[in-house]
A and B are shown apart, each in its own frame.
Chain A
Amino acid sequence: MTQKSDWLFRLYLWLFLAYMLLPLVIMGGAAFNDSRFPSVYPWQGFTWTWFIELWNDARLLNAFRNTIFVAVAVVALSVPIGTAAAILLNSVAGVARTALYGMMVAPILIPGAVIGISTLLFWNTVSVAPGLHLSVLGQVSYISAFVMLLVLARLQSFDRSLEEAALDLGASHAQVVRRILLPHLYPALGAGAAIAFFQSIENFNVTLFTRGPYDTLTVYVFSKVRSGITPTINALAVILIAVTIIAIILVELRRRRAERTSIRTAAVTQT
Chain B
Amino acid sequence: MSDLLRRYGLPLTTLICILVVFWLLVLVILPNLYLFENSFRPYLPVVEMGGPKDVYTLKNYMTFVRSPIHITVFVSTILYSCVVTVICFLIAYPLAYYLAKKVSVRSLPTLFLILTIPLWVSEIMRSFAWFIILSLRGPLNFLLINLDIIERPIRWMTGFRSVIIGLVYTYVLFMLFPVYNAIQSLDTNQIEAAEDLGAPWWRIHWRVVLPHAKPGIASGSVMVFMLSAGSILVPTLLASTNSRWFTEIIQQWMFESLDWNTGSAYAFLLLILCTVFVTVVMKIFRVKLSDIAK
Interface residues of A (CB under 8 A from B): 1-2, 5-6, 9, 12-13, 16-17, 19-21, 23-24, 26-27, 30, 38-41, 80-81, 84-85, 87-88, 91-92, 101-115, 117-125, 137-138, 140-141, 144-145, 149, 163-164, 167, 172-174, 176-177, 198, 201-202, 204-205, 208-209, 217-218, 221-222, 225-226, 233-234, 237, 240-241, 244-245, 247-248, 251-252, 255
How many of chain B's residues touch chain A, expressed as a range?
35 or more
- Determine if A117 and B1 form an interchain contact, defined as CB atoms under 8 angstroms apart: no
- The answer to the question of B118 belonging to the interface, with a C-beta cut-off of 8 Å to chain A, is yes
- Determine if A112 and B230 form an interchain contact, defined as CB atoms under 8 angstroms apart: yes
- Determine if A26 and B129 form an interchain contact, defined as CB atoms under 8 angstroms apart: yes
Chain A min CB distance to B14 (Å): 11
Contact of B98 among A12, A41, A173, A237 (CB under 8 A): A12
A sample of 22 inter-chain contacts (CB < 8 A) reads A17-B115, A20-B173, A21-B114, A30-B132, A87-B16, A112-B230, A114-B35, A114-B267, A114-B270, A117-B35, A117-B260, A117-B267, A118-B34, A122-B35, A149-B294, A163-B7, A204-B123, A209-B254, A218-B122, A218-B124, A226-B236, A252-B109
- Determine if A20 and B16 form an interchain contact, defined as CB atoms under 8 angstroms apart: no
In the complex, what distance in Å separates the CA atom of A105 from the CA atom of B32?
A: 15
Contact of A113 among B125, B132, B222, B247 (CB under 8 A): B247
- Determine if B128 and A111 form an interchain contact, defined as CB atoms under 8 angstroms apart: no
In the complex, chain B residues whose CB is within 8 Å of the CB of A23 = 126, 129-130, 133, 169
In the complex, what distance in Å separates the CA atom of A252 from the CA atom of B113?
A: 8
Once A6-B102, A9-B94, A81-B23 are accepted as A-B contacts, the answer to whether A105 and B289 lie under 8 Å apart by CB is: yes
| Per-position 1/0 for B115-159, Cβ under 8 A of A | 111101111111011111101011100100000000000000000
Interface residues of B (CB under 8 A from A): 1, 3-4, 6-9, 11-12, 15-17, 19-20, 22-24, 27-32, 34-35, 38, 91, 94-95, 98-99, 102-103, 109-111, 113-118, 120-126, 128-133, 135, 137-139, 142, 169, 173, 195, 201, 222, 226-227, 229-233, 236-237, 247, 250-251, 254, 260, 263-264, 267-268, 270-271, 274-275, 278, 289-290, 292-294
Contact of B23 among A141, A205, A225 (CB under 8 A): A141
Given contact pairs A87-B16, A104-B23, A225-B237, a sample of 17 additional A-B residue pairs in the complex whose CB atoms are under 8 Å apart: A1-B201, A13-B111, A26-B133, A27-B125, A38-B132, A39-B132, A81-B22, A84-B20, A87-B4, A91-B3, A101-B289, A103-B24, A113-B232, A121-B34, A145-B293, A244-B121, A248-B113
